[in-house]
Amino acid sequence: MNRDVLLEAIDAIYSAAGSPALWPDALQSIANCSGDVGAIMIFQRENGALGTICTPSLEMAQRDYERGEWWRYDIRFKRTGELGYLANTDAVTDRHVCSDEEMQSLPYFTTFLRSHDLKWFGGVNISPDPKFALALSVQRRADKPAFGDDELAVLSRLGRHVEQALRLGIRLIRAEAGQATLADVLSKLDVGIYFLDEAARVVFQNEAALAMEGKGLSVVGGRVSVDATPQREELRAAIAAVISMDGSTFSAAPARPVLVPTSDETGYLAIHTLPVRHGPDRIIDKLLAGVSGVVVVSRSVNGDPIDPALLRDLFGLTLGEARVATLIGAGIAPRDASKRLGITEQTTRTVLKRIFAKTGVMRQSELAALLSRLVLRQ
């Protein structure tokens, strides 16, 4: 893995955080890390339909996929949902979801993919927000070998940065930000947004951020702060890290959020920090000019299901395991959780055994109690 290519991809990812039009370039930079054709991002629109963003190199194949209704025969996409929960990692590839015989005989592979000189994929599910389903897939030519474990590990690593950038970006994409100014879109979001300059001073905050102030969160001396003493220094360090992020620290995994109890003790705030990058030739919204970092704040009420990405990071779970744990820990029966997730009850129970082993609990009530103490663990 060429480190410069990796850093270029991460830079492109954070450049796209506040500028949805830059995602095709960011996706191509991700594909370049493994020398592949291109990449595609699949997300759920506000109306429930699936939306896609792909690199220019895959536009013809994607058009054929939709117009030719090849999605009806895409067993990789259909199976990734179920088998992705059983995988031991967040990144999967062909060998996890289909057999060699299927790849050599089914028209999806022998006709559709072959006509575009494609064969292999490496995919990773990410969770920028509990309400948003999103997947990233890199496409590989037929004349190259299948994705190896090392390559999937790099894809998982890049997926974490995409997830962090999309804490803001997916909301702009789903709101079709191109039809309004960035400020208008941010004003309608239900999460708090702060834009910070290179000195970590607040240069913009939306209405949701203003509404959260005085409830465990505040702006002191022009800087974002929290009331809880233990987390105050943690937040300061997290903000400083993204503001000063350079090549030596840029490729590190994004920090987990700072969790702060609300002042009325009815829930907690999850505070994410992410850098903003500005390439010399990139057109950005004027609101982002001079912005070096973004703080994204979401509020959870006691009893709400917990963000799966947070559980993944805290307990070393896969994202699939974390999604099951979120529902089971909220008191939902395995059969009902299976229906919500679109997987079989047997898969849910198999995953649940792994969750118990990783978290050190033995029954659903113990898992619920563990998750209820989540903020206290920080």
Tens digit of pLDDT for each residue in 276-323?
887 655 555 677 888 999 999 998 877 777 889 989 988 999 999 999
Q: Which of 51-55, 153-157, 252-256 has the lowest mean pLDDT?
A: 252-256
Query: Does 120 have pLDDT greater than 50?
Result: yes
Q: Which of residues 109 and 250 earns the better pLDDT score?
A: 109
CATH code of the domain containing 203: 3.30.450.20
Helix residue ranges, H only, 117-246: 149-174, 182-187, 207-212, 229-243
Average pLDDT over residues 16-32: 93
Query: Does 352 have pLDDT greater than 90?
Result: yes
Whole-number Å distance between alpha carbons of 292 and 277: 7
CA atoms within a 13 Å half-sphere pointing along the CA-CB vector of 316: 6
pLDDT digits (tens, 9 = 90+) for 201-221: 999 999 999 999 998 999 999
Whole-number Å distance between alpha carbons of 28 and 228: 42
Looking at the structure, tell me whether residues 105 and 165 fall in a common domain.
yes
Q: Work out whether the CA dihedral 79, 82, 88, 91 comes out positive or negative.
A: positive
Q: Work out whether the CA dihedral 316, 318, 322, 325 comes out positive or negative.
A: negative
Looking at the structure, tell me whether residues 150 and 12 fall in a common domain.
yes
Q: Residue 255 has what pLDDT?
A: 76
Q: Which of 52-61, 253-262, 368-377 has the lowest mean pLDDT?
A: 368-377
Q: Residue 212: what are its φ and ψ, rounded to 5°?
A: -85, -20
Average pLDDT over residues 268-279: 86
Domain boundary among 282, 301, 320: 301
Which residues have C-beta within 8 Å of that of residue 148, sequence separation ≥ 6?
Answer: none
- Looking at residue 341, the DSSP 8-state letter turns out to be H
Which residues have C-beta within 8 Å of that of residue 207, sequence separation ≥ 6?
Answer: 187
Query: Does 374 have pLDDT greater than 80?
Result: no
Looking at the structure, tell me whether residues 161 and 29 fall in a common domain.
yes
| Rg, the chain, Cα only | 21
Most confident of 124-128, 133-137, 138-142, 162-166: 138-142
What pLDDT band is residue 155 in, cutting at 50, 70 and 90?
very high
What pLDDT band is residue 46 in, cutting at 50, 70 and 90?
low
Whole-number Å distance between alpha carbons of 32 and 11: 13
Looking at the structure, tell me whether residues 73 and 152 fall in a common domain.
yes
Q: What is the mean pLDDT of the chain?
A: 88
pTM over 0.85: yes
Looking at the structure, tell me whether residues 317 and 248 fall in a common domain.
no
Number of residues in the chain: 378
CATH code of the domain containing 353: 1.10.10.10
Pairing of strands 38-44, 134-141: antiparallel
Which residues have C-beta within 8 Å of that of residue 226, sequence separation ≥ 6?
Answer: 216, 217, 218, 232, 235, 258, 260, 269, 271
Looking at the structure, tell me whether residues 225 and 100 fall in a common domain.
no
Looking at the structure, tell me whether residues 218 and 297 fall in a common domain.
yes
Query: Does 223 have pLDDT greater than 80?
Result: yes
Average pLDDT over residues 112-120: 98
Query: Does 179 have pLDDT greater than 60?
Result: no
What pLDDT band is residue 230 in, cutting at 50, 70 and 90?
confident
Which residues have C-beta within 8 Å of that of residue 23, sequence separation ≥ 6?
Answer: 16, 41, 53, 169, 173
User: In terms of Cα–Cα distance, which of 212, 195, 132 is closest to 166?
Assistant: 132
Q: Which token pair is 264?
A: 């009325």
Q: Which residue type does 85 have?
A: Y
Looking at the structure, tell me whether residues 169 and 186 fall in a common domain.
no
> What number of other Cβ atoms are within 10 A of residue 217's Cβ?
25
Which residues have C-beta within 8 Å of that of residue 196, sequence separation ≥ 6?
Answer: 202, 203, 224, 239, 243, 291, 292, 293, 294, 295
User: In terms of Cα–Cα distance, which of 342, 339, 337 is closest to 325?
Assistant: 337
Query: Does 266 have pLDDT greater than 60?
Result: yes
Q: Residue 247 has what pLDDT?
A: 56
Domain span including residue 263 = 182-301
Query: Does 239 have pLDDT greater than 70?
Result: yes
Q: Which of 34-38, 265-269, 347-351 has the lowest mean pLDDT?
A: 265-269
> What number of other Cβ atoms are within 10 A of residue 309's Cβ?
26
Whole-number Å distance between alpha carbons of 369 and 22: 43
Looking at the structure, tell me whether residues 18 and 92 fall in a common domain.
yes
Looking at the structure, tell me whether residues 80 and 170 fall in a common domain.
yes
Q: Residue 273 has what pLDDT?
A: 94
Q: Per the structure, how many domains does the chain have?
A: 3
Looking at the structure, tell me whether residues 21 and 148 fall in a common domain.
yes
**3-state SS class at 91:** strand
Q: Residue 264 has what pLDDT?
A: 79
pLDDT digits (tens, 9 = 90+) for 98-112: 999 999 999 999 999
Domain boundary among 174, 192, 224: 174
What pLDDT band is residue 157 in, cutting at 50, 70 and 90?
very high
Looking at the structure, tell me whether residues 161 and 267 fall in a common domain.
no
Q: Which residue type does 114 have?
A: R
CATH code of the domain containing 84: 3.30.450.80
Helix (H) or strand (E) holding 141: strand 134-141
Please answer whether residues 260 and 269 qualify as being in contact, where contact means their C-beta atoms are separated by less than 8 angstroms.
Answer: yes
Query: Does 177 have pLDDT greater than 50?
Result: no
Average pLDDT over residues 57-85: 93
Whole-number Å distance between alpha carbons of 52 and 8: 23
Domain boundary among 260, 279, 301: 301
